[in-house]
Every structure is written in structure tokens, then in C-alpha cells.
């Protein structure tokens, strides 16, 4: 059995249990089938061999992967699965469905004369470009990826068969629901400039037209969405409460789709103030009532016999736009469960996208692109960005904030006043849609180039050793992609990136990206750890500037604005930090060397432990420096030694070096260094030279700064552990 692909699952006393993993395509078809079974479709194919005639010829038969039907609809599903993630075109599948549609519809109508029929293309491990998605939609085919299937499987676990209404709302939005009682007695009024109706209704009627804009990849085409997924435990508690005779006096909040003509309302003759009562005719279509607040209360009735008899109160606004729905949702929840920052970013992406304020549009575009980079399978950051309420993992470690910062600071979109363009970005093409599509393609290809050349880093994410595909790294890489476009435009006045296609811009950027990945790929574990441990508000800028420096060193013509000034400032910062470390090293050595001499020579330590020439020079300096000091403030000869003098003290004899100083003042790793005590103590001379550089305002290099950090960590900060 093992030779045929079976593996041992469990060993019993006299038997073994074997299992055989399904091929990915079979497993995916079974998952799709299971989703529709759990959603309550009463007719399904029993195996993979179901065929359907679409023509008169013997060979004009279509094999159907998944068939599902209920009392109202028929679903025909073509499943495509890949072992590895790749981009799909699906030209053959689309053409086959189109060519066979007329014939297969005749066959369906003979068996299901009143049913609505929908064709679905279900895909697993495929990225779908916008062009392909448009081609699928124009063929009147619904595309569902594996995340959509998993959403409905999970929703069915939570809601049971009531989850089918979410699916039907997606598939047949705006189409008529047969045999629905439309009429309710309602009161018409207005609030906040919006018309609304207050009425009571049986849950089972409302479930058929209701729809919840869950924040899920399954509903990503229904931008904007804002609701959290229903919690199974909370739903169970609501259901138990209902079954025990409990009720909810507070109203559900809905938005009813009024259509072009609005809702039909037949008022009673008598009016009371600004309100009037009458008969409201509910929309008789799928996805006509968006549940803004109260999804758990509504779906708590989904498996209850009381769903057909209880009446629940409703406040239903008419044709609220998605932005208005979200504002109302956020206002309702403002003083209840806090909306996490990442979810607020996701909601704001939708809320501000169509704003009249250009500043809000630009903010929304950055957030939408950040979200899209994390959710679109063609993106190398697919599954790496925390969207909505996604939890953080070592791979899904990027925040929308970090990606959006990179897009903002990369200069792609520009800056705006409320009504005008203040400074046009390198990619801004007049609208969010046009700019977003082009920028997404360019950023996707640029980051994918980094992914392909730094595959180990890509697989690490934020795990130990990972320092590229983390927030600071991705923000900086996106900014570099912006720098390169600006550089290309600056080098050639005829080079207008807003008029060039993203592929050309990417091709022109590759040489600069190559210098960047070569630099990042050459960093060792210690250097990588330094990048990983960049914290604070300036960490992203430091990471980004270092990448700029690396490209500049390889390609001097690449000289982004502000880089030279930053390098100067950074060098000054190195000088300040270096001065502090040198002072600390000197202070430590002053105390430690004296203590060791006192331990060896006692009261005569200075005379016996310090070479004569140093004592003479120190004595002269002491007299000179004490000349203007008041009594009690005078210094000793020992206070007049320099760092390099401590080396002279330590190495005046081999006996003194080996017996007193060698173990403490030989840097780790230099124990076997050739050249004896002269070589092992030579670091002190280098520190002395650096002290002179700092004193005379000469630039301290990065290597010298790193050298001092290593010494300071070993000698000063490690003095307790290593004190001999």
C-alpha cells in the first residue's frame, strides 16, 4: 500500500490504519462539493463522472465537476487547481462554457424549468489578473477562488443552511425571489437627512433578502465591506436565548435597496406630524437588505422554528450608499467593541475612495493598494499583509500602515489640497482607478524581483534571521522603487513615467534593483540583525537611506535628493556616538588599569608600575593643569595619562602583560593572533587615533563606528561578566 502512495496513520494491536492524501485537484473538487452540500443544496452529483449533453452529437457531452441545485437555482461549477501558486488565463475554460451554454441550458430547463442557472469557475492556487477577471465576468461566469470556497464552508458551519442566502445574494443580486411575501406595516420618517422605515418582520422573510457585507476575500468585489465575520459561539448563545423564549427589544439596522423608482409605500389616510404609517412593499430580490447592525440577532433565528412566527423590530434606511453604511456602522460600534487600527485602515480605504476631497482620495488609494498587495494572488506580498482583523504570523507580519507609508513617501501619487493637485506624483494618472492599476503592476513586479533574488529572506519573513520582508524593509523597498522612477525622469526630461506603461518602467528600474538586492544579499547575520533591530520613528528612514547609499556606491549617477545631506548628518551622529564610547572606554581603562597595578605593587604602584618617561610627562602636565586650580580641586599624575599610555603601561614587560593584563585586554577572537602582545593590544592605538579624529572633527567612518561599538560592548558593557 505504501508503494501506491498510502501512508501509515495509526498502528493498532492487530491492524494498522492507512490513509492516502488526495491529489490537490480531487481534494479541491471535494471541498467545493462539500461547501454546496453544507449550504443546503438538495441535489448534487454523486461523483466526478457526471456528464451533461449540450448538443445532438454523441460526443457533445460536458463533464461537470460539481453540480448543485435547490428549489430555485442550479449551479454548474468548473474546478481548476494547481499544485503551486501561479497566474491563470483560463481561456480554454471560458470558451468551453460559452460554446456549450445554449445547449446545456436547454437540458437544464427540461429538468428544472423555473430555476435560475449560474456557471461558476472555482480556482485553487491561481492568481487572476484584472484583465482575466474582466474576461470571466463578461462571459457571465462567476469566479470563486479557494478563499471564497473556504468562506462559505466556514459560514455554513456557523449559520447552517441559512448561509445559502449569502451565496445566493452574491450570485443573483437584484434578481427576483419567487413566492416572497413583500408587505409589512411600517412607519415612514427621516433621520439625519435619510428616509427610513420602522417595522416588524418575521426573521425567515428577512433572511431571504438580507445580506451582510463581511470583511472577507469572498466579498472583495463588493467594495466597500465592513462587517466582522459572525462568531459561532455568540451565534450559538443567541440561538439558545431565542429557543428559551428570549427576545431582543432593540432594532436591527438595515439599508434597503430602493432601485431607480424607490420603494413602494402605500400610506394610510391619517398622518401624524412628520411621520406616516402605511404598507411598505419590500424589495423582492436577493441581496436587497444590507444588515448594518444586528447580524447575530438575525442569524440566531436561522435554525429556530420561531423564525416564522416571531417578529423582530427593524429600522430600515433607504438606499444608503456603502460609505454611509460604514459611517453608521462605525458610529454604532464606537462605544462598543473597539475597531482595531488595522481594520480602521481597511474601512477607511473603502470609505474615502470616492470622496470629493482629493486628500482623502489619495489616502484611500494608498490604503487600497496596500490591501490589494496583501490579497491579490499575483502579488508577492499575497498573504503577507495583515488586512482587516487578520492575526499576525511570522509570514503575515506586514501592516497596511507600513506598506501605505512606502507608497506615500515614494512620491508615486503626489500631494493635494481639497480640490487641486498640489504636487503631481510620478504615477498619478488623473484618477484613483487609473493610477492604482498602473502602480499596482509596477510595485508588484519590483517586489517580486526582490523576492526571486532573496528567496531565503522571503521564506523567513519576520522569523529569526529575517530582515528584508518586514515592515521597515518593505516600506524602504517601495520607496526605492519610487526613487528609481524619479531618477529616470530627472535624467531625461522627455522621460515621463505617467505616460509609460508599468512594464517599461519596471524594465528600466531593474539595474538599480539589482544593485540593491546584491547589497542586501551580501549582508551577514550580524549586519542583518542590525537592520532587523532598527526601532523607533526614524528606523524606516535609516533603512531606506542605507539602501540608497548602496545603490549610489554601485551607480554614482543615482543620487536621490537629500542623500548627501543625510550621509553628512549620519557621519556627525557617528562622531557624537563615537566620542561617547571613547570617553567610556578611557574612563573604564583608567580605573581598571590603576586597580590592577595597585593589586600588584601596593602603595608604590605608580612608581613601580608606570614607565619613567610617562611618569615624567604626566608630572609636567599635572603641574601645568593644577596651576590655576583651587585647593582641593588638584589632579594627580595618573589623571594626565592618555589612552595610548595605558598600552605602554600594560606592555612594558612580557611578565606584566601576561600576568596582569593579557586575559582582560585581548579582544575575543584575538587570543591566538600572531605577533604576541603587540598585535593583541594594537586596538588601543586605533582607539587613540580615533580619539584624535573626533577631537579635530574629522569624520568617523561606519567601519570605525562599528569597531568602537564592538569594543564598548566587550570591554565596558561586558565588564561584570568578564572581570578577571
pLDDT tens digits, 119-168: 999 999 999 988 999 999 999 999 999 988 988 888 887 777 767 878 88
Main-chain phi, psi angles of 5, to 5 degrees: 95, 0
Q: Residue 481: its pLDDT value, please? A: 97
Judged against a pLDDT cut of 90, whether residue 591 lies above it is answered with yes
Burial environment of residue 545 by CB neighbours within 10 A (0 to 12, 13 to 18, 19 or more) = buried
3-state secondary structure 410-458: CCCCEEECCCCEEEECCCCCCCHHHHHHHHHHHHHHHHHHHHHHCHHHH
Of 141, 171, 201, which residue sits at a domain end? 171
Residue 15 lies in a domain: no
Q: Residue 30: its pLDDT value, please? A: 95
Strand partners, 518: none
* CB proximity list for 641: less than 8 A, separation 6 or greater: 590, 610, 614, 618, 649
Residue 446 lies in a domain: yes
Q: Are residues 146 and 210 in the same domain?
A: no
Q: Are residues 409 and 477 in the same domain?
A: yes
Main-chain phi, psi angles of 87, to 5 degrees: -90, 135
Of 561, 592, 621, which residue sits at a domain end? 561
Of 24-28, 142-146, 287-291, 657-661, the poorest mean pLDDT is in: 287-291
- Closest by Cα among 26, 18, 20, 17 to 5: 20
Q: Are residues 276 and 349 in the same domain?
A: no
Residue 12 lies in a domain: no
CB crowding 675-690: b at 16 or more within 10 Å, else e: eebeebbebbeebbeb
pLDDT band, residue 173 (cuts 50/70/90): confident
Q: What is the mean pLDDT of residues 24-38?
A: 94
Residue 19 lies in a domain: no
pLDDT band, residue 54 (cuts 50/70/90): confident
Q: Residue 468: its pLDDT value, please? A: 97
Q: Cβ(558)–Cβ(551) under 8 Å? A: yes
Copy the grid coordinates of residue 431. 484618477
Q: What is the mean pLDDT of residues 53-63?
A: 85
Q: What is the DSSP letter of 374?
A: H
The torsion region of residue 659 among left (phi > 0), alpha (psi -120 to 50) and beta comes to alpha
C-alpha 322/C-alpha 328 separation (Å) is 10
Q: Residue 303: its pLDDT value, please? A: 64
Burial environment of residue 494 by CB neighbours within 10 A (0 to 12, 13 to 18, 19 or more) = exposed
Q: Cβ(226)–Cβ(316) under 8 Å? A: no
Q: Are residues 332 and 466 in the same domain?
A: no
pLDDT band, residue 234 (cuts 50/70/90): low
Cis peptide before 318 (omega within 30 of 0): no
CATH of the domain at 160: 3.40.1350.10
Q: Residue 230: its pLDDT value, please? A: 57
C-alpha 276/C-alpha 128 separation (Å) is 51
Q: Are residues 279 and 313 in the same domain?
A: yes
Q: Cβ(45)–Cβ(66) under 8 Å? A: yes
Q: Cβ(407)–Cβ(478) under 8 Å? A: yes
Write the DSSP assignment of 271-328 as a string of letters. EETTEEEEEEE---BTT-EEEEE-HHHHHTTTT-GGGGT--EEEEEEES--HHHHHHH
Please tell me the total count of domains within the chain. 4
Q: Are residues 418 and 472 in the same domain?
A: yes
Angle in degrees, 0-180, between the axes of helices 358-375 and 400-409, rounded to the nearest 10: 120
In this structure, are strands 264-272 and 183-191 parallel, antiparallel, or unpaired? unpaired
C-alpha 496/C-alpha 505 separation (Å) is 10
Alpha carbon of residue 160 to chain centroid: 32
* CB proximity list for 434: less than 8 A, separation 6 or greater: none
- Closest by Cα among 565, 508, 521 to 541: 565
Q: Are residues 92 and 218 in the same domain?
A: no
C-alpha 366/C-alpha 408 separation (Å) is 7
3-state secondary structure of 661: helix
Judged against a pLDDT cut of 70, whether residue 561 lies above it is answered with yes
pLDDT band, residue 238 (cuts 50/70/90): low
Q: Are residues 378 and 233 in the same domain?
A: no
Mean of per-residue pLDDT scores for the chain: 86
- Of the two residues 9 and 226, the one the predictor is more confident about is 9
Q: Residue 223: its pLDDT value, please? A: 42
Q: Which helix (H) or strand (E) holds 142?
A: strand 141-145
Q: Are residues 381 and 327 in the same domain?
A: no
Q: Are residues 207 and 330 in the same domain?
A: yes
Task: Give the domain extent around 626.
Answer: 575-722
- What are the tens digits of pLDDT across the range 334-372? 544 445 566 566 656 655 676 788 998 898 899 889 988
Residue 322 lies in a domain: yes
In this structure, are strands 275-281 and 264-272 parallel, antiparallel, or unpaired? antiparallel
Q: Is the dihedral of CA 556, 559, 562, 563 positive or negative?
A: negative
C-alpha 418/C-alpha 433 separation (Å) is 19
Residue 533 lies in a domain: yes
Question: What percent of the chain has pLDDT above 90?
Answer: 49
Q: Cβ(347)–Cβ(285) under 8 Å? A: no
Q: Residue 343: its pLDDT value, please? A: 59
- What are the tens digits of pLDDT across the range 177-188? 877 888 999 999
C-alpha 536/C-alpha 300 separation (Å) is 46
Residue 13 lies in a domain: no
Main-chain phi, psi angles of 56, to 5 degrees: -85, -25
- What are the tens digits of pLDDT across the range 375-428? 888 999 999 998 766 788 999 999 999 999 999 999 999 999 989 999 999 999
Q: What is the DSSP letter of 723?
A: -
Of 208-212, 251-255, 567-571, the poorest mean pLDDT is in: 567-571
Residue 3 lies in a domain: no
Strand spans (E) along 7-58: 7-11, 16-19, 43-44, 51-53
Length of the chain (residues): 724
- What are the tens digits of pLDDT across the range 253-301? 888 888 778 889 999 988 777 889 999 999 888 888 888 877 777 777 7
Q: Are residues 481 and 372 in the same domain?
A: yes
Q: Residue 237: its pLDDT value, please? A: 63
Q: Cβ(163)–Cβ(154) under 8 Å? A: no
Strand partners, 199: 186, 314
C-alpha 544/C-alpha 93 separation (Å) is 45
Q: Are residues 164 and 52 in the same domain?
A: yes
Of 124, 144, 171, which residue sits at a domain end? 171
Amino acid at each position: 500500500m505504501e508503494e501506491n502512495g498510502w501512508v501509515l496513520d495509526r498502528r493498532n494491536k492487530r491492524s494498522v490504519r492507512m490513509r492516502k492524501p488526495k491529489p490537490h485537484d480531487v481534494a479541491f473538487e471535494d471541498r467545493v462539493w462539500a461547501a454546496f452540500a453544507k449550504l443546503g443544496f438538495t441535489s448534487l452529483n454523486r461523483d466526478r463522472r457526471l456528464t451533461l449533453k449540450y448538443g445532438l452529437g454523441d460526443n457533445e457531452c460536458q463533464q461537470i465537476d460539481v453540480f448543485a441545485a435547490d428549489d430555485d437555482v442550479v449551479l454548474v461549477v468548473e474546478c481548476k487547481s494547481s499544485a503551486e501558486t501561479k497566474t491563470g488565463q483560463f481561456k480554454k475554460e471560458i470558451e468551453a462554457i460559452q460554446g456549450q451554454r445554449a445547449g446545456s441550458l436547454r437540458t437544464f430547463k427540461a429538468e428544472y424549468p423555473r430555476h435560475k442557472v449560474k456557471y461558476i469557475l472555482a480556482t485553487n492556487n491561481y492568481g487572476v489578473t484584472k484583465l482575466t477577471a474582466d474576461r470571466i465576468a463578461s462571459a457571465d461566469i462567476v469566479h470563486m477562488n479557494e478563499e471564497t470556497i473556504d468562506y462559505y464552508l466556514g459560514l455554513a458551519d456557523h449559520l447552517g443552511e441559512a448561509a445559502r442566502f449569502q451565496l445566493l445574494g452574491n450570485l443573483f443580486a437584484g434578481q427576483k425571489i419567487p413566492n416572497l411575501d413583500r408587505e409589512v406595516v411600517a412607519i415612514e420618517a427621516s433621520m439625519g437627512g435619510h428616509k427610513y422605515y420602522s417595522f416588524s418582520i418575521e426573521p425567515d422573510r428577512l433572511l431571504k433578502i438580507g445580506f451582510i457585507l463581511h470583511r472577507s476575500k469572498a466579498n472583495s468585489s463588493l467594495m466597500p465591506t465592513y462587517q466582522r465575520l459572525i462568531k459561532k459561539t455568540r451565534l450559538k448563545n443567541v440561538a439558545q436565548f431565542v429557543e428559551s423564549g428570549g427576545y431582543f427589544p432593540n432594532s436591527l439596522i438595515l439599508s434597503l435597496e430602493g432601485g431607480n423608482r424607490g420603494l413602494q409605500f402605500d400610506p394610510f389616510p391619517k398622518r401624524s406630524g412628520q411621520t406616516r404609517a402605511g404598507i411598505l412593499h419590500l424589495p423582492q430580490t436577493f441581496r436587497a437588505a444590507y444588515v448594518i447592525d444586528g447580524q447575530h440577532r438575525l442569524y440566531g433565528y436561522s435554525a429556530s422554528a420561531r423564525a416564522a412566527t416571531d417578529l423582530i423590530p427593524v429600522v430600515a434606511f433607504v438606499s444608503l450608499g456603502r460609505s454611509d453604511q460604514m459611517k453608521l456602522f462605525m458610529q454604532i460600534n464606537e462605544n462598543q467593541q473597539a475597531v482595531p487600527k488595522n481594520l480602521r485602515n481597511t474601512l477607511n480605504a473603502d470609505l474615502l475612495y470616492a470622496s470629493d476631497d482629493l486628500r482623502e482620495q489619495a489616502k484611500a488609494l494608498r490604503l487600497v493598494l496596500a490591501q490589494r498587495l496583501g490579497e491579490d494572488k499575483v502579488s508577492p506580498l499575497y498573504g503577507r499583509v495583515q488586512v482587516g482583523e487578520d492575526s499576525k504570523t511570522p509570514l503575515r507580519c506586514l501592516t497596511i500602515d507600513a506598506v501605505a507609508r512606502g507608497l506615500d513617501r515614494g512620491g508615486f501619487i503626489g500631494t493635494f489640497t481639497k480640490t487641486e493637485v498640489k504636487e503631481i506624483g510620478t504615477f498619478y494618472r488623473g484618477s484613483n482607478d487609473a493610477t492604482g492599476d498602473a502602480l499596482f503592476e509596477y510595485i508588484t513586479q519590483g517586489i517580486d524581483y526582490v523576492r526571486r533574488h532573496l528567496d531565503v529572506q522571503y521564506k523567513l519573513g519576520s522569523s529569526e534571521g529575517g530582515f528584508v520582508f518586514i515592515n521597515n524593509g518593505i516600506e524602504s523597498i517601495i520607496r526605492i522603487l519610487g526613487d528609481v522612477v524619479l531618477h529616470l525622469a530627472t535624467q531625461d526630461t522627455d522621460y515621463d513615467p505617467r505616460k509609460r506603461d508599468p512594464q517599461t518602467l519596471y524594465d528600466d528600474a531593474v539595474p538599480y534593483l539589482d544593485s540593491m538586492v546584491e547589497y542586501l544579499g551580501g549582508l551577514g547575520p550580524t549586519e542583518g540583525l542590525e537592520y532587523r533591530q532598527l526601532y523607533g520613528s526614524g528606523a524606516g528612514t535609516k533603512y531606506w537611506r542605507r539602501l540608497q547609499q548602496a545603490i549610489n556606491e554601485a551607480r554614482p549617477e543615482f543620487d536621490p535628493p537629500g542623500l548627501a545631506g543625510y550621509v553628512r548628518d549620519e557621519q556627525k551622529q557617528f562622531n557624537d556616538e563615537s566620542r561617547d564610547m571613547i570617553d567610556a572606554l578611557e574612563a573604564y581603562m583608567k580605573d581598571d588599569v590603576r586597580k590592577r597595578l595597585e593589586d600588584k605593587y601596593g602603595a608604590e604602584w605608580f612608581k613601580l608600575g608606570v614607565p619613567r618617561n610617562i611618569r615624567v610627562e604626566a608630572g609636567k602636565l599635572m603641574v601645568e593643569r593644577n596651576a590655576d586650580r583651587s585647593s582641593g580641586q588638584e589632579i594627580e599624575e595618573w589623571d594626565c595619562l592618555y589612552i595610548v599610555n595605558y598600552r605602554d603601561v600594560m606592555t612594558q614587560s612580557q611578565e606584566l602583560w601576561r600576568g596582569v593584563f593579557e586575559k582582560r585586554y585581548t579582544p575575543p577572537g584575538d587570543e591566538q593572533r600572531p605577533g604576541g602582545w603587540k598585535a593583541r593590544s594594537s586596538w588601543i592605538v586605533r582607539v587613540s587615533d580615533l580619539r584624535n579624529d573626533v577631537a579635530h572633527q574629522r569624520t568617523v567612518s561606519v567601519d570605525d563606528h562599528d569597531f568602537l561599538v564592538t569594543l564598548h560592548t566587550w570591554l565596558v558593557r561586558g565588564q561584570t561578566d568578564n572581570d578577571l
